[in-house]
Amino acid sequence: MPNNIGRRTWAIAEGYIPPDSPTKSREMLSHETVCILNAGDSAARVEITVYFANREPVGPYTFDVGARRTRHLRFNEFKDPAPIPTNTDFSSVIASNVPIVVQHTRLDSRQAELALLSTIAFPLD
């Protein structure tokens, strides 16, 4: 099994947090997720910058992903330096100090029946 899996920088051009009822369970609440795999033997320090249509980018949002661990981070739970507004178009760039793999997933439960989307992020280097 190779140890050094992935790239250090990724981008996700799509980003959108559906406005939804906060009374739903965390499992079923609408969420916009960046899934990060760190298959290597060193912990990853991940910095995420969020881009908007009409104002300067916000970030970095900083996360640790341990060696041989995955984290599925929800943009709608980001807090520091600032929450990301719902019903607003955004994009993100994910930068890590070690190679990682990044995938983008949304669960949209605004309506009675949920909808899903997912894609590999764009690997930069």
Report the 10 Å Cβ neighbour count for 54.
Answer: 6
Distance of closest approach, residue 83 Cβ to a copy of itself, in angstroms: 18
Chain positions 90 to 109 lying near a copy of itself, rule: CB under 8 A, are: 90-91, 93, 95, 100-106, 108
Does residue 86 interact with a copy of itself by CB under 8 A? no
Q: Is 56 in the site for a copy of itself (CB under 8 A)?
A: yes
Q: Can you say whether residue 68 is alpha, beta or left, with left for phi > 0 and alpha for psi between -120 and 50 degrees?
A: left
Radius of gyration of the chain (CA): 15
115 binds a copy of itself (CB under 8 A): yes
Placement of tokens 């499992």 in the chain: 27
Q: At a CB cut-off of 8 Å and minimum separation 6, what does 7 contact?
A: 99, 100, 101, 123, 124, 125
Which residues of the shown chain bind a copy of itself in the complex (CB under 8 A)?
1-2, 5-6, 9, 11-16, 27-28, 33, 35-37, 39, 47, 49, 51-54, 56-57, 60, 68-72, 87, 89-91, 93, 95, 100-106, 108, 110-125
